[in-house]
Structure 1
């Protein structure tokens, strides 16, 4: 393998047709666009045209090379070599809300480790108009190519701030006027949640929930009622229900 190939293998990739299209349409720094040679698809042709308009390097390569570059992931015939995804600041998240003239609606993810869960949560956050996501630097997944692919392009539109200490960050948000909600087996039925003001919603770890120290910082707990045999939900599913309850209270019907 050449040094160039080694560099590309070490790089991060956005893979899949929709995520690739979103990446090349964004302001993100692109290193190179790899397209599978001999594969006929209108979407791939469109990706190549837009990439060339941006003066990006487009290289047609055999499927075997794409498989190797993406570690045999389902790349759908395209991989976009990108610079590392940039993280926002908390101030950036407030600026998004201010630009929309809306009360802040932030998601705080407590040690979400599965990149598919993070990608799915980003997708829902974008759809529901959340102003940003806050994640910890340690013991949690960051912005990776798997997250980008799962988000189907939402990673280009939802700002993510990465902080050293979630407990301290929550205190800062509360001082800035946000009411912080968490999720627990015992709490207010989420269907009664009014998120029309400035709010932060904490989504806990896939298996352990919200960490004890962070739980002490929460202003109010929300619970999702369950009457089935399995008394737990996947983190991204629980997040989606809560995010859309937030959306419903912030954008009521008839207004």
Structure 2
């Protein structure tokens, strides 16, 4: 469950929405399930209060990257992680969040894509040459697809409905895949205007998170 500060529940928080995702978020808030039991001064909202998005990782080789993606996915409210290939998870990178984030494994990319499409998700691949992610208009249900650290998506980009890229200003060939995934998830949530989690002292508060 994602904690929300009481002030975030103001009926006026949806004012100023313009793009389709923001309008969807405003309507869905009316039907969200709120647990009004107070704890540490917060009201807790179930995951139904966030617009669902998924993350597909395809043939990522380094366990550290999977672990870091799990941590970021949990932080940004990802509904599910779909792992394609033989990737192993390095628990130290996930910082305990691997115990709470839902995930499934698939032998082929087509299986993972079809699983998402059967639930109405649009597939957005992250790859050089796509539309800058800050200009991307995400649909109500988005599944991000991340490819191999060295080869990227390659021909597999053909399964995507859209291709997005993260612009760079330096001289490195590409971003680390875990970093790219985190940026994409942040940009998605920024568009939705989903209320953020509350924080205590210097960290965000979550009953289920025990990592550092």
Q: Which range, TM-score by smaller chain?
A: 0.5 to 0.7
Are 1:233 and 2:181 matched, yes or no? no
Give the drift of 1:120.
Answer: 0.6
Are 1:104 and 2:52 matched, yes or no? yes
Q: Is the 8 A contact 1:108 1:135 kept in 2?
A: yes
Q: 1:192 to 1:253 in 2, by over 3 A?
A: farther
Distance in 2, matches of 1:99 and 1:235, equals: 26
Aligned match of 1:31: none
Structure of greater Rg: 1
1:201 to 144, 148, 151: 144
**What's the Cα RMSD here?**
2.1
Q: How many residues align?
A: 151
Give the drift of 1:104.
Answer: 2.6
Aligned match of 2:112: 169
Structure 2, gaps ≥5 residues long: 1-45, 197-212
Distance in 2, matches of 1:193 and 1:236, equals: 20
Give the drift of 1:252.
Answer: 5.6
Are 1:131 and 2:79 matched, yes or no? yes
Give the drift of 1:172.
Answer: 3.5
Structure 1, gaps ≥5 residues long: 1-97
Q: Is the 8 A contact 1:110 1:211 kept in 2?
A: no
Distance in 2, matches of 1:174 and 1:158, equals: 20
Are 1:120 and 2:63 matched, yes or no? no
Q: Which has the higher contact order (CA 8 A, sep 6+)?
A: 2
Aligned match of 2:204: none
SS in structure 1 opposite 2:159? Answer: coil
Give the drift of 1:169.
Answer: 2.4
Q: 1:151 to 1:172 in 2, by over 3 A?
A: closer
Give the drift of 1:204.
Answer: 1.1
Aligned match of 2:27: none
